[in-house]
Copies of this chain bind each other. A is one copy, B any other.
């Protein structure tokens, strides 16, 4: 078990390297690299952490796993609220998202927050992908540190 604070520091430094504050171009590319690292890490981690699980019943069952076991093993808390329109859209609300607890919630910093969400969006998308669900994951800050992740399942 690695100290949580080490994980937090490592995440901050990844953000700093990929999205330096004084960057004035190719920001999107950098955020997508963070998302990419998250995706592959989430993909592998969900494979490992579900290997002794029972088969999931359905999509909602997978989503509950993400909200409970997956989230707990990374952030030491569960997702606070899960909603769905039963048509492939799921909204996961974390009222105290750990990667935002150290950031200021002043309005002038709101634009800086998305880079702190990209890695985690990737984690969710990767974990779901490994469990057979192709999705688009986006996130928005409600009032920092409260954060809403939206999963849109891509059906083929």
Using a CB–CB cutoff of 8 Å, the interface residues on chain A facing chain B are 1-7, 9-10, 12-14, 16-17, 33, 36-37, 40-41, 44-45, 48-49, 73-74, 76
A48 and B6 CA atoms in complex are apart in Å by 9
Main SS class of interface, A: helix
List chain B residues, Cβ under 8 A from A14: 14, 37
Asked whether A2 lies within 8 Å of B5 as measured between CB atoms, the reply is no
Given pairs A12-B44, A16-B40, A17-B33, 4 additional interface contacts (CB within 8 A) = A1-B76, A3-B49, A6-B45, A13-B40
Asked whether B10 lies within 8 Å of A48 as measured between CB atoms, the reply is no
Asked whether A41 lies within 8 Å of B10 as measured between CB atoms, the reply is yes
Q: How far does the Cβ of A6 sit from chain B's closest Cβ, in whole Å?
A: 5
Asked whether B48 lies within 8 Å of A5 as measured between CB atoms, the reply is yes
Given the interface pairs A1-B1, A14-B14, the reply to whether A6 lies near B73 with Cβ below 8 Å is yes
A74 and B36 CA atoms in complex are apart in Å by 24
Which residue on chain B has the smallest CB distance to residue A14? Answer: B37
The 5 closest A-B pairs by CB, nearest first: A1-B1, A9-B44, A13-B40, A13-B37, A2-B7
A17 and B17 CA atoms in complex are apart in Å by 12
List chain B residues, Cβ under 8 A from A45: 3, 5-6, 9
Q: List 18 A-B contacts (CB under 8 A).
A: A1-B1, A2-B4, A2-B73, A2-B74, A3-B45, A3-B49, A3-B74, A5-B48, A6-B41, A6-B45, A6-B74, A7-B7, A9-B41, A10-B37, A13-B37, A13-B44, A14-B37, A17-B33
